[in-house]
Homo-oligomer: A and B are copies of this chain.
Amino acid sequence: MDRKGVLVVISGFAGVGKGTLVKSLMEKYDNYALSVSMTTRAPRAGEQEGVSYFFVSREKFEQTIAEDGLIEYAEYVGNYYGTPKSYVEDQLSKGKDVILEIEIQGAHNIRKIYPDAVLIFVMPPSAEMLKERLTGRGTETAEVIKKRMDRAAQEATGIEDYDYIVVNDTVEQCTAKLREIIETAHCRPVMNEDFITAVRSELKAMAGEG
């Protein structure tokens, strides 16, 4: 039977490895569509326009907001981040599971518009390991690392608003866990309304016959 697409929100502290996990999911399985966010922040080394993000000016971003072209947006450490609407809706309507890698404020907004979205928070094995990963990445100044750790401490208050947490011990086990969670979301009655209705009608018809 045709599967309905699930909207999957993946959040987590900066440095926890969300990007790597999402890349791993996309490589391993072919039924996912990755939503590319729009942002006003500057590209990091190696980031590609239209793959990592759509990099735009504040003016362009605010124009897109005005045109209702984003399903959510948020400001984070002085920059805008948002999710273009048309791609998400196209892919969901084709039965693809759409993966959004967004931060916690955006995730809350998604929940309001898409109540059936599955919200997953990626946790580090420990706070200490998060700090090590941020430091080891070597792309950020000490000041930015401090800012990100403070931000993580703030964001940690919202973890219970997510449906699931996964611990990023290794990319492989964590990818498998994400897969399991997404597959399970397809088993919700709301994703199988046509099938349930069909069986129900058939049963009713048979009960009538007896």
Contacts and interface: CB of A to CB of B under 8 A. Distances in A.
Interface of A: 121, 123-124, 126-128, 130-131, 146, 149-150, 152-153, 156-157, 159-160, 162-167, 177, 180-181, 183-184, 187-190, 192, 195-196, 198-200, 202-207, 210
Contact of A165 (B126, B149, B196): B196
A156 B199 contact: yes
Contact of A199 (B127, B163, B164, B200): B127
Contacts of A192: 165
Contacts of A164: 184, 187-189
A73 B124 CA distance: 43
B124 A199 contact: yes
B163 A203 contact: no
B202 A127 contact: yes
Contact of A187 (B150, B166, B190): B166
A18 to B, nearest CB: 16
A204 B121 CA distance: 18
A22 B80 CA distance: 50
A199 to B, nearest CB: 5
A19 to B, nearest CB: 20
A134 B127 CA distance: 55
Given A199-B124, A200-B156, A149 B207 contact: yes
23 contacts: A123-B196, A123-B199, A124-B199, A126-B198, A127-B202, A127-B203, A127-B206, A131-B206, A149-B210, A150-B210, A153-B204, A153-B206, A153-B207, A156-B199, A156-B200, A156-B203, A159-B189, A162-B189, A164-B187, A164-B189, A165-B189, A167-B195, A181-B187
